[in-house]
Copies of this chain bind each other. A is one copy, B any other.
Amino acid sequence: MDDGTEPNSRSLAMLETPCLILDAAKMRRNIARMAAHIAPFGVSLRPHLKTAKSIAVARAVMASPQGPATVSTLMEAEQFAAGGVRDIIYAVGVAPAKLDRVIALRRQGVDLAIILDTVEQAEAVAAASRAAGLRIPTLIEIDSDGHRGGVGPAEPDRIVAIGRILAGDAELRGVLTHAGESYGSRTPEQLRDWVEIERNAAVSAARTLRAAGLPCPVVSVGSTPTALGAVDMTGVTEVRAGVFVFFDLVMAGIGVCTVDEIALSVLATVVGHQREKGWILIDAGWMAMSQDRGTAKQAIDQGHGVVCDLLGRPYPDLIVSAANQEHGTVTIRPGSNATLPDLAIGDRVRILPNHACSTAAQHGRYHVVEGESDAVQAEWLRFGGW
């Protein structure tokens, strides 16, 4: 089985910049930490692969080469299915026109489940199931945080109405929720509140279905912050989380990881200075970093990323404070007394991202290193698109 890896024995100093670097040692520690954290709860981990988009990373984080896994696009479902994954939830409310691709994957032997939150969608899924002669497993999306989709907690009748349609001609597999608002947590107490809000929303919806005589085998919750913040998962059967594999500066700002645990960075080259302004210019702009500025709303604004040396060790208070398409402007963080490091044109740095999902999406491959080494061990391919 091709796992999208290519042998490689170059050093970081030889790579074309900008490019994406993955510290696989940190990645494995992050994966082990999540596994150890949720083990006592007796729930399964269904990692969200929208961050990784790489079969090599998927295999490192999934419980088995067959899954389980979560995806955000049908392209991810198809790519991971081609890599041998057999147990997938496509966790974005389904558009009826996408059911053909869902059915095609199921006919290939992939247990692909979908989610939805309206009677109209449920009727479309039931009709497509009848027409295809198979039952599409479907979870009802529950709105635990008022953030985007899902049936609200005060709408038990709608949950039951959707459940009855699915149980008729499709397959009612359970309920699913995601408290994305947990990303806004500023204190451990706020995070614990989101953990309980998320769990309660899912467990209560499951109770509603069961009280109506409907099945609800799967009760799926999760995000990286709520998974790592959980102290009680009673009633939950599985946890979804994705960004914990790499972590990022937003997660460090929430407090669920340290900056040292961030496994992903962008390698860049110094291409200029404006010495009187205290600026170092690098060849990683927003095309390489993305325009995600998730830390702008946190206590510490990390600009477009934290600047590290070639081996991934952060310089004190050095950030990418501005970015154009292919230029980054590196400065000392405003208010800091730190000194600008003496970086010459041609020197290389690594930038830790605000948001692993969006920065990784700007790149076609991971260049893999192991810890504080400049030896590139492998290239792991990424895919994009829908």
Contact = CB atoms under 8 A, between A and B. Distances in A.
Contact of A271 (B19, B93, B291): B93
Contact of A364 (B116, B270, B357, B384): B384
B269 A97 contact: yes
A94 interface: yes
A385 B74 CA distance: 23
Contact of A19 (B72, B95, B386): B386
Interface residues of A, number: 60
B364 A385 contact: yes
Contacts of A346: 95-97, 124
A43 to B, nearest CB: 24
Contacts of A270: 95
Q: How often does this chain occur in the complex, in copies?
A: 2
Contacts of A149: 271-272, 274, 281, 327
A272 B162 CA distance: 14
Interface string A112-143: 00001110110010000000000000000001
Interface string A357-377: 110011110000000000000
A248 to B, nearest CB: 13
A92 B148 contact: no
Contacts of A95: 17, 269-271, 283, 345-346
A273 interface: yes
A148 B345 contact: no
Contacts of A19: 386
Nearest to A354: B291
A220 interface: no
A167 interface: no
Contact of A287 (B18, B327, B329, B361): B361
A206 to B, nearest CB: 21
Interface string A148-191: 11000000000000000000000000000000100000000000
A290 interface: yes
A79 interface: no
A326 interface: yes
A344 interface: yes
Most chain B CB within a 10 A radius of its CB, from A118, A143, A385, A386: A386
A50 B118 contact: no
Given A95-B269, A95-B345, 16 more contacts: A16-B74, A16-B386, A19-B386, A50-B325, A92-B271, A95-B271, A120-B344, A121-B345, A124-B345, A147-B324, A148-B279, A149-B274, A149-B327, A287-B361, A291-B292, A361-B362
4 shortest interchain CB distances as A-B pairs:
A291-B291, A95-B269, A93-B271, A72-B326
24 contacts: A16-B74, A17-B386, A50-B325, A72-B326, A92-B271, A92-B327, A93-B271, A93-B327, A94-B271, A95-B269, A97-B346, A116-B272, A118-B345, A120-B344, A124-B345, A143-B274, A148-B274, A148-B281, A148-B322, A286-B292, A288-B386, A325-B358, A361-B362, A363-B385
Interface of A: 16-19, 50, 72-74, 92-98, 116-118, 120-121, 124, 143, 147-149, 180, 269-274, 279, 281, 283, 286-288, 290-293, 322, 324-327, 329, 344-346, 357-358, 361-364, 384-386
